[in-house]
Structures are given as structure tokens and as C-alpha cells.
Amino acid sequence: MQTKYVFVTGGVTSSLGKGIVCASLGRLLENRGLRVTIQKFDPYINVDPGTMNPYEHGEVYVTDDGAETDLDLGHYERFLGVATTQANNVTTGRVYLEVIKKERSGAYLGKTVQVVPHIIDEIKHWMLQLGETGDYDVVITEIGGTVGDIEGQPYLEAIRQLRYELGSRNTLNIHLTLLPYLEAAGEVKSKPSQHSVKTLLSFGLQPDVLVCRTDRPMTEDVRRKLALFCNVDQRAVIASQDAESIYEVPLLMKEQGLDEIAVERLHMKEDFEGKVLDAPDMDGWVRFLRQLKEPQGKVRIALVGKYVEHQDAYKSIAESFILAGAANGVQVELAQILSDDLTAANVEEKLADVNGVLVAPGFGDRGVEGKIEAVRFARENDIPFFGICLGMQCSVIEFARNVCGWKSANSTEFDPVTEHPVIDLMEEQKKISTKGGTMRLGAYTCQLTKGSRVAEIYGREKVKERHRHRYELNNVLRYKLAEHGMQFTGVNPKRDLVEIVELPEKRWYVGVQFHPEYRSTVGNPHPLFASFVRACVTYAEEKDNILMPKGPRREKKIHLASAKM
Ligand code: GLN
């Protein structure tokens, strides 16, 4: 069966929410009964974003197979509930690396290796790869950047060729643009969108659908104008109006028939006979949105990290809290605490009104002492505590210093000659000197201790979680830490690496070496996040500082009446 390919490009500016539109369309098609995956092509030369710092790129999202990828893949997984892999994120760097490797191995012997055809062919190969597995009916391909960028041109040429080869029955072009409102003119301007489509046309690509980001409803007049000047059906000019939550976007897209247009244009009803529902079943999504928008209360949780000023640096953690909050009927307000600023003298004041403390992952020593102070404050005051990766490592350091009394305890990442290296480089990491893709990456099994809090939370004794680190809890000191009351309730069975630490006498104190935040999806928040938020709610109720008292539901407008679903 021929897979259908949807290509999504953007114009005018970046940050229009292309990833969310792709994820929304993906979910709508999935809920019509189709098997969907989404892939992203990033036109930069890094082989993957793993070597970029979060200020540069936002969060690095890690897949089960250990790929370090763009954070949009997190949106794809959260919206679709389907795992992605390395094949779902390709960069110009990876494309060139493959081509150059082939050239060195003699694959093109005798030929001059060029952008056209070799680089374009390699891009096309990656664009088709997921479809060729036979696992998907629809592959949505998002192209990073904006049309007209020099580095994006090979991708547009690859799409042009694929449209030519596969035909309009099997390919669809969606182009995202911005409709700015000019205060002085009192008007929404369509000209930037027209120019963007012109640029796209100059690469031989005519969009079938225009999705226009706007801060106000699109008038019929603007719709008509865009349709006429951009050569697009009027009903295929779709407004992507700013929404309170990204999780409203699938319903906004459905309301305007984006999925219907895709189904029609790609002849999916005929080609996938009997498989495609007349409308997506979004009941579950609407229920989730209702929970999200009608919280019964609000809890404040501190997110302690060194990248808190960058809104995308802890994307999956922030989204996991939104999803876990909805599941618990509360809104989680994240108090972003810059760890560099935390000291023993001010920690009490900075964390005064929070109902829980999460210490974030990270690399390098900036802000580590502040994180350790945050752990101490949470432990000593029995505030629910959750440590992720470096956050877990900080909890072990704090425990070693302040409970075991090993004042100089540290990770060798920060103090290579510490007397008490409670966190140390993993054996296999000692031989590695290159940085790209060389950490302990991807999903590994974790065996949970029977009867432990985490085993109860998961409701299982064996789980798989994703990793991204070089250091680990030092097994030489592990038994000494245990003598002082720290429990190791999750361990990698093959290599005896500690994956989870707990202080069971605390109301909720869990540190994990892995990244649970990568596995939260809509309707299925990660159990550790759901349980942590529940503990924060209970704590807030005990302290009587839940921010919105329980009471009659406040009606909040949901963008789409559920009756229409
Ligand atoms: N820097 C630590 C390590 O490499 C923690 C990594 C992380 O938090 N992702 O082990």
C-alpha cells in the first residue's frame, strides 16, 4: 500500500508552531484510524542537537533507541502516543556524514559527488525511509527553518522531486505563515504570506494548504485574498489562532477541517478502503482538555535548574507537569528557580511557598551547589522531592555530605579528586574522548525493589526508561550510603547500576538517574510525575496552602464545544 506523505514548511518567521500543527494533524489522522508518524528535518550541520547547549537549541529529546533529537519529537510523542526513533530526526550534518562516508567507502567511485543529485538523493532516502517500513499509512515531514533560508534549499528540492515522482495523490504540501496585525493601520496583513508562497513557488512547490498563525480570528476577506493570491482553495486557508494551550490546537485544526482536507486531497478513503473514519474520535482528547482547563486547585512546584531563563530548556519536564496536573485535577504552577542564585542563606526564602521541589538534569558545575542546597531544604523540611539525572546525583551528594557527614563528597564531574566520589564516571566512559552521541543513551531496563514506593507507583517491577548521562552512583560507596538510610530501589539488572534512590521515611523523596519526562503522553502522564504531583497536592492540603480551594467547578471556555466532537 502506498504511504501518503505530508510535507510541512514554514515561512515569514520561525516559532510559528509548525511542530504543534504537525502533531495536531498527526493526532487527528490517528484518531481517524490511520497509522501516523512524524519526522523532522533540521537544516543545520550538527549531526544531532546533542552537542548544543540548551540556550542554543532548547531541550535535547532522547528516544528509546538512544537518538539525541529535536524537542519537536517530544511534541510528536506526547500528541500521538507513538514512540519515535533516530529515523524521525535528520539533520544536514547527518545527511552529509552519510554521503561522505559512502564516498570514502567507494560507493560513488568514478563520480563527482555533488549536492544534486547525491545530497538530494540522500535526503529523499531519509524522507521515504519510515514510509517504506510498511508501519505507517501517513508520514508527516516537518522541515525546520523558513523557506528562503540558504541551508533549507536542498530539502525543498527533495520535496519537489518526491512530489513529481509520487504524484499529487500521494503527497500534500502544507505551508505555515504569519498574519501580522499592524496597529497603525488597524489591519491584518496578508502580504508577508503572499511573499512566502512566492518564495516557495520559486523552488517549484505550490502549497495545497496554508496554515496562518494569527492573534485574532481570520476574516473571510483575508481568507479570500490569501486563497486568490496564493492559489489555494479558500477552505484550505486555515487560521492557527493563538491558543491558551498547545493542546487546544488539534481541536482548532479539526474545526476548520485540516484533517478532512488531508484525507480528501490524498484520496485516503479510496486508497485505504474501509479504514478511514468519517471524523476523528476526539472524545478522550476533549475530556483531557476539560481536566486541563478546569482545575480544582493549584500547586506550586519549584523547578530548580540553571537554564530556567530559557523557556524550552526543560520542555518535557514542563509538559509532564501539565499532563500530570490535569490527571490530578490541578494546575501545576512552576516556580522557576535559578540554581546559581540559591545559597544556604536564601534557600528558605526562595523556596518558601512551594509544595514540591524538582531538581533538574544538567551538565557542568555551574549552579550545582545551589541544587544541592535545594535538595537539603526539601529533605530537612520533608517537602516532596523529585531529582532527575543530575538532580538525583545532587541528592546523593547532599545525603553524603549532610547525613553521612562526608563533607567533601562530590561527583568527579565537579571535583575529580574528592575523597568521597559518590558519583563517578562510568567505567566505559573513561575511554571515550569524543562528545557527540557518546553518553549512555536511550532505554535501559530498571528492576524495581518489591514493596518499594516506586514499585507501587509503577504497579510493576520491571520498567524501561531513557537515559542521557556519563556519570553514575559509585557502587563502592553505595553500601555505606545504604547504612545511613538511602535506599536503592531501582537497579539496572545487567550492570548493577543504580537507577533510583529513595528516602522511604520521607513523604515523597525519589531521585532517578533516567529521564521519565520523555515518556509522558496526553492522557498518560508518566507515573512518577503523576505520583509526585499527587504528593505535592496532599502536602499543600496539609499545609492548607492549596492555592485554589476545592469548590464548585469554575466553567472555563473550551475552544470547541464537545458536542461537535
Ligand atoms: N552531568 C551528569 C552526567 O553526565 C548528569 C546528566 C544529566 O542530568 N542528563 O551523568
- 46-60 pLDDT per residue, tens: 999 999 988 888 999
pLDDT digits (tens, 9 = 90+) for 481-528: 999 999 999 999 999 999 999 999 999 999 999 999 999 999 899 999
Q: Whose CA is nearest to atom 8 of ligand 1?
A: 361
At residue 408, the pLDDT reads: 96
- Give CA–CA dist 345/369, Å, rounded: 12
Between the alpha carbon of residue 231 and those of residues 45, 197, 259, the distances in Å are: 34, 9, 20
Between the alpha carbon of residue 22 and those of residues 92, 320, 460, the distances in Å are: 21, 20, 34
Distance in Å, CA 67 to ligand 1 centroid: 16
Confidence grade of residue 13 (pLDDT, cut at 50, 70, 90): confident
| 517 in active site | yes
At residue 431, the pLDDT reads: 87
Q: Which of 59, 314, 389, 473 to mutate to test the pocket of ligand 1 (most atoms within 8 A of CB)?
A: 389
- CB of 514 sitting under 6 A from ligand 1: no
540: its cell numbers: 499543600
Mean pLDDT check: name the lowest of 299-313, 425-439, 537-551: 537-551
pLDDT digits (tens, 9 = 90+) for 198-241: 999 999 999 999 999 999 999 999 999 999 999 999 999 999 99
| List of residues 6+ apart from 173 with CB closer than 8 A | 7, 9, 159, 163, 205, 206, 207, 208, 209
Is pLDDT at 553 greater than 60 in this prediction?
no
| List of residues 6+ apart from 106 with CB closer than 8 A | none
| 77 in active site | no
- Give CA–CA dist 201/357, Å, rounded: 51
pTM of the model: 0.94
- CB of 290 sitting under 6 A from ligand 1: no
At residue 435, the pLDDT reads: 85
Burial class (CB within 10 angstroms; exposed 0-12, middle 13-18, buried 19+) of 216: exposed
Distance in Å, CA 93 to ligand 1 centroid: 25
Is pLDDT at 560 greater than 60 in this prediction?
no
Per the residue annotation, which of 59, 248, 517, 536 is the catalytic one? 517
Can you count the helices (H) and strands (E) in the chain? Answer: 19, 23
Is pLDDT at 92 greater than 50 in this prediction?
yes
- Give CA–CA dist 346/342, Å, rounded: 6
Q: Which of 430, 468, 497, 499 to mutate to test the pocket of ligand 1 (most atoms within 8 A of CB)?
A: 468
Atom of ligand 1 nearest to the CA of 423: 10
pLDDT digits (tens, 9 = 90+) for 274-300: 999 999 999 999 999 999 999 999 999
| 389 in active site | yes
Share of the chain above pLDDT 90, in %: 89
Per the residue annotation, which of 175, 420, 515, 526 is the catalytic one? 515
Distance in Å, CA 526 to ligand 1 centroid: 20
Confidence grade of residue 547 (pLDDT, cut at 50, 70, 90): low
- Give CA–CA dist 560/288, Å, rounded: 13
At residue 546, the pLDDT reads: 64
CB 423 within 8 A of CB 473: yes
- CB of 469 sitting under 6 A from ligand 1: yes
Mean pLDDT check: name the lowest of 90-94, 350-354, 432-436, 472-476: 432-436
Per the residue annotation, which of 22, 212, 230, 389 is the catalytic one? 389
Confidence grade of residue 349 (pLDDT, cut at 50, 70, 90): very high
Q: Whose CA is nearest to atom 1 of ligand 1?
A: 363
As a whole number of Å, the end-to-end CA separation of the chain is 30
Q: Which of 60, 366, 396, 471 to mutate to test the pocket of ligand 1 (most atoms within 8 A of CB)?
A: 471
Confidence grade of residue 561 (pLDDT, cut at 50, 70, 90): very low
Q: Whose CA is nearest to atom 6 of ligand 1?
A: 469
Q: Which of 470, 474, 498, 514 to mutate to test the pocket of ligand 1 (most atoms within 8 A of CB)?
A: 470
Q: 385: which strand partners?
A: 357, 509
- CB of 310 sitting under 6 A from ligand 1: no
Q: What is the mean pLDDT of residues 378-399?
A: 98
